[in-house]
Structure 1
Amino acid sequence: MLDDPSGPCGRCANCVGKPLVDVGVDAGYVDRAQAYLAKQEIWIEPRKQKPAGVSLSLPSLERGRALSVYGEVPLGQLVHDGKYVTGRFDDQLLDASVRLIQSWLGNDRIDWLTSVPDRVRGGLVESFAQRLAERLGVPYELTIARTGKGRPQKEMENSALQARNAIDKFTSTGQCGGSVLLVDDIIDSGWTTTVIADLLRKNGAETVIPFGLAHAGQG
């Protein structure tokens, strides 16, 4: 038979109803930690080698930047929430993107801005890219379209399949020129931006600079 349960001891955390030690985190420390993480330089390196049998002119991209590491607090978490929870990228991401791009590229290296096309016209990435272009004071043009073919890149098992899948998924819809900033939400293998940059270059763009809200392939 079990012993009768004893009464409250009045000393442990369960009995007193609060932690016995201070578990709070100073708000200033949190702000400093978030500012530090937000300033980390995350580079997007251009693809320089192509799989056998793939028709691409490499490198098609300049070296680019990502704003955050996907899922990491604070900005990478906002990317996740915008994509999968709220359906809109927060103004904090827009403000941070403007600051990064202006400090990195200045005001005269970008002639216009485009984005990786969404599955639905006017979707998440396109709407963010339009807001970003307005803040940067440059035109936004969508000169790439989805073909309706291909599968999600995350389903591809290796780099060669990712490259071929991206080629199947996108096509050019018009001529372009000058220096263009190519915006995507989450960059992983880099083949999507590489293929789109190749299409832009073949249709007149002089330079294509990638920018991602988050990098999923870099910790």
Structure 2
Amino acid sequence: MRHDGCLMAFLQQALDDDSAKDCGRCRNCTNRASKSHQPKPELVIEAEQFIKKRPHHIRSRSEWPIAEISDHPIHGSGITIDKDHRMRWGFALCSAFDMGLGDQILRERNNGRQYSNMVVDAFVYRLQEWAKNKGIGCVTYVPPRNNRKHVPLLAAAVAERLERPLVHAVARTGMGARQSDQKNEVQRALNVANAFMIERSCKQSTLLIDDLCVSGWTMVTVSALLCHDGCPSIRPAALVKHSLSG
């Protein structure tokens, strides 16, 4: 509802107050409503640079949301994730709600056949900076549910730019539904508990690529499987971290 007069007087009149008069202080009385606030250009640039540079972490997990998620050995220590099966802290290029880049990535994810050179270049640039001195030996990825090529092609580009071998280590079992359809942490962890299997071993410190990290349980589970198979360490990296991410 729009009211051009004094806002305080309007409220008083609505309450049948006969003493209603202009207050001289509200935004309509001071004419502030008609003045559009324009921040200083240098502040806008500074804010945009901060958003682009701030780190978006994918956190490691030390516990499953419930015990005995599956019969696999990675779930064999009750609620605790075995220390040897835990992924390291990881990296995401941006948040799903970041201006510009986050929107661009989600559009390409939903509508394109693969990610644009602009997105790949931005991801690799930040990855090179983040992964420096972390001893990454090879690159692998989370296989998509629907055989889309976005993530495999992204991982291949990352491996080529970082001059590391790409290992097609993980495959889908056919079990599990869409993570986005799950309602809570327990459902998300259960949904991916038996969704993956290891086809090839990664015997070096590995960079695990996915495009979207929502709950984090997909990467936690895949990392645990790879480590159980003999991988010494996993560092996850994604294009976009959703607000539900850990």
TM-score (norm 2): 0.72
**How many angstroms does 1:30 deviate by?**
6.8
* Correspondence list, 1:1-219, <5 A: 33-50=47-64, 51-54=66-69, 55=75, 57-58=81-82, 60-106=86-132, 109-121=135-147, 123-217=149-243
Unmatched tracts of structure 2, length 5 or more: 1-34, 70-74
CA RMSD of aligned residues (A): 2.5
Q: What is the identity, as a one-letter code, of the residue corresponding to 2:63?
A: Q
Q: In structure 2, how many angstroms separate the alpha carbons of the residues matched to 1:48 and 1:103?
A: 26
Q: What is the identity, as a one-letter code, of the residue corresponding to 1:147?
A: T
Q: In structure 2, how many angstroms separate the alpha carbons of the residues matched to 1:70 and 1:159?
A: 19
- The verdict on how the C-alpha distance between 1:186 and 1:120 changes in structure 2, with shifts beyond 3 A counting, is same
Q: In structure 2, how many angstroms separate the alpha carbons of the residues matched to 1:42 and 1:190?
A: 13
CA contact under 8 A between 2:215 and 2:244: conserved in structure 1?
no
Q: What is the identity, as a one-letter code, of the residue corresponding to 1:94?
A: V
Q: In structure 1, how many angstroms separate the alpha carbons of the residues matched to 2:41 and 2:118?
A: 19
Q: In structure 2, how many angstroms separate the alpha carbons of the residues matched to 1:90 and 1:41?
A: 22
Q: Deviation per CA, 1:122-161, whole angstroms, max 9, x where unpaired? A: 6111111101111111111111101111101122222122
Question: Deviating runs (4+, > 6 A) in structure 1?
Answer: 21-31
Q: What is the identity, as a one-letter code, of the residue corresponding to 2:172?
A: R
Unmatched tracts of structure 1, length 5 or more: 1-20
**How many angstroms does 1:119 deviate by?**
2.8
Q: In structure 2, how many angstroms separate the alpha carbons of the residues matched to 1:141 and 1:174?
A: 7
Choose 147-156 or 61-70, whichever is displaced more: 147-156
Q: What is the identity, as a one-letter code, of the residue corresponding to 2:242?
A: A
Q: What is the identity, as a one-letter code, of the residue corresponding to 2:51?
A: L
TM-score (norm 1): 0.81
**How many angstroms does 1:22 deviate by?**
9.6
> Residue in 1 aligned with 2:13?
none
Point out the structure with max Rg over C-alpha: 2
Q: How many residues align?
A: 200
- The verdict on how the C-alpha distance between 1:133 and 1:29 changes in structure 2, with shifts beyond 3 A counting, is farther
CA contact under 8 A between 1:38 and 1:74: conserved in structure 2?
no
Q: In structure 1, how many angstroms separate the alpha carbons of the residues matched to 2:182 and 2:112?
A: 27
